[in-house]
């Protein structure tokens, strides 16, 4: 089934485009366009603007203060944001823990946390993975012992994205080591200022400080910070993961990356001709473009089914695998197009405000982005795991 946009949906797209043209600060737009690392303040400033517009919580129902958009509006919004070089909304509060609190949280938790997320007052991070528990998440070992009206938490989380800015952590902990793996897990909301929490940076290949290790050493967490019943954490965890994978194909970003690549390859010369005219290079660009078109149609089919009341299932795994492979291929081609010019590493440009002329600015982030994109096939459930899901549920193997 193909999706054609109604007049209302087209008008909505125009409204979003106008808003982005007026409201997205030029310096933030430029940082995103040039692939520079965003600072906490860049995220906060943009998210405050979205919050004031009532558009921060794009996936929330109106009863909790969201805009009440359906899947088509959300798709249009994401696409326009990527085209305008707007920062991606930090997902851990608004897109991940919020749906869990709405579904499993107590009325008190809903009244306390949801408005704070909507108003951008808390910065959440995700404490799922551990050194020995990634794909096999249910093997996690962080231990929480119930003592009076507190849990005493000990353990280590890893790959905690942007945890250095966060004041809240949603965390999977083992409350019953004797129960079956999944049955002994609970879901806790932990204040990052609690004594006993240490955050250590992990610097990734692109030189960025995006992920962290989080150590929990006798951290006292009030029992009222548990979401759902003790031992029900796995249900919350799985529910959250379906939200984590939504939109993970990154189609808007892939479109921008393709446009950028084509523009570069038509300006860069190879033996007196534009690189884009070189058959071997052109073939890879054309293949990537065809992949992108196919992925977009698949994505629109999934959205059309959701508009008609269907829920995306294993299709989201399919979109994740193809979308991440495509974005990796586009970053590889961009690096190849720039050749040796992509080699220099300019940390002052990537992290700070140092300026570069336009030619160097184009190249400065190419390798960093190439390295950064390696993560796409790992996080949100590694691609090998997604392929197994597709094999089992779609191909019935």
Ligand X SMILES: Cc1cc2nc3c(=O)[nH]c(=O)nc-3n(C[C@H](O)[C@H](O)[C@H](O)COP(=O)(O)OP(=O)(O)OC[C@H]3O[C@@H](n4cnc5c(N)ncnc54)[C@H](O)[C@@H]3O)c2cc1C
3-class SS shares of the chain: helix, strand, coil, % to 5: 55, 15, 30
Write the DSSP symbol of residue 272: T
Torsion sign across C-alpha atoms 166, 168, 170, 171: positive
What is the pairing mode between strands 150-158 and 209-222? antiparallel
Nearer to ligand X, 66 or 127 (CB): 127
244 counts as catalytic = yes
Nearer to ligand X, 71 or 134 (CB): 134
| Residue 379 in contact with ligand X, rule: CB under 6 A | yes
CB neighbour list of residue 147: distance below 8 Å, 6 or more residues apart: none
Residue 276 structure tokens:
């884009």
CB neighbour list of residue 395: distance below 8 Å, 6 or more residues apart: none
| Residue 155 in contact with ligand X, rule: CB under 6 A | no
**Near ligand X in 233-272, by CB under 6 A:** none
| Residue 317 in contact with ligand X, rule: CB under 6 A | no
Nearest by Cα to 189 from 133, 126, 116, 142: 126
Stretch in the footprint of ligand X (CB under 6 A) among 50-58, 66-74, 272-280, 373-381: 373-381
| Residue 385 in contact with ligand X, rule: CB under 6 A | yes
CA distances from 293 to 6, 48, 97, 296 (A): 21, 34, 32, 5
Q: Which of 244, 291, 315, 329 is catalytic?
A: 244
d(CA 12, CA 315): 26
Stretch in the footprint of ligand X (CB under 6 A) among 73-81, 157-165, 307-315, 360-368: 157-165
Instruction: Rule CB under 6 A: choose which of 100, 211, 306, 319 binds ligand X.
Output: 211
Torsion sign across C-alpha atoms 344, 350, 351, 352: positive
Nearer to ligand X, 72 or 326 (CB): 326
**Near ligand X in 159-198, by CB under 6 A:** 159-161
| Residue 371 in contact with ligand X, rule: CB under 6 A | no
Nearer to ligand X, 270 or 374 (CB): 374
| Residue 135 in contact with ligand X, rule: CB under 6 A | yes
Nearer to ligand X, 154 or 204 (CB): 204
Residues forming the active site: 244
Q: Contact residues for ligand X (CB under 6 A)?
A: 126-129, 134-135, 159-161, 211, 375, 378-379, 381-382, 384-385, 388
């Amino acid at each position: 089934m193909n999706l054609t946009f109604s007049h209302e949906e087209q008008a909505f797209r125009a409204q979003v485009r106008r808003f982005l043209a007026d409201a997205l600060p030029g310096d933030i737009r430029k940082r995103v366009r040039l692939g520079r690392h965003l600072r906490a303040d860049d995220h906060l400033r943009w998210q405050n603007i979205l919050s004031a517009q009532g558009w921060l919580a794009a996936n929330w129902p109106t009863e909790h203060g969201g805009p009440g958009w359906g899947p088509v509006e959300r798709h249009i919004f994401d696409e326009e944001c990527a085209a305008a070089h707007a920062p991606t909304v930090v997902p851990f509060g608004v897109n991940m823990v919020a749906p869990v609190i709405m579904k499993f949280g107590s009325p008190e938790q809903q009244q306390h946390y949801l408005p704070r997320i909507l108003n951008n007052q808390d910065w959440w991070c995700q404490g799922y993975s551990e050194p020995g528990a990634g794909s096999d998440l249910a093997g996690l070992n962080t231990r929480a012992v119930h003592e009076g009206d507190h849990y005493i938490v000990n353990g280590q989380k890893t790959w905690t994205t942007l945890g250095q800015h966060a004041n809240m952590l949603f965390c999977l902990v083992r409350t019953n080591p004797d129960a079956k793996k999944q049955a002994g897990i609970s879901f806790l909301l932990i204040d990052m200022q609690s004594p006993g929490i240490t955050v250590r940076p992990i610097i990734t290949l692109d030189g960025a400080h995006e992920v962290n290790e989080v150590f929990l050493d006798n951290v006292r967490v009030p029992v009222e910070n548990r979401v759902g019943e003790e031992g029900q954490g796995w249900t919350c965890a799985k529910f959250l993961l379906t939200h984590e994978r939504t939109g993970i194909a990154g189609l808007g970003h892939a479109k921008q990356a393709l446009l950028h690549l084509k523009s570069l390859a038509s300006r860069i010369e190879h033996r007196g001709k534009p690189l884009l005219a070189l058959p071997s290079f052109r073939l890879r660009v054309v293949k990537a473009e065809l992949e992108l078109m196919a992925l977009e149609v698949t994505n629109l089919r999934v959205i059309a089914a959701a508009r008609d009341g269907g829920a995306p299932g294993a299709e989201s795994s399919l979109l994740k695998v193809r979308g991440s492979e495509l974005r990796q291929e586009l970053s590889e081609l961009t690096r190849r197009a720039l050749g040796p010019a992509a080699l220099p590493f300019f940390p002052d440009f990537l992290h700070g405000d140092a300026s570069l002329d336009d030619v160097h600015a184009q190249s400065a982030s190419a390798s960093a982005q190439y390295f950064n994109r390696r993560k796409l096939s790992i996080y949100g459930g590694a691609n090998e795991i997604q392929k197994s899901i597709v094999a089992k549920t779609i191909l019935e193997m």
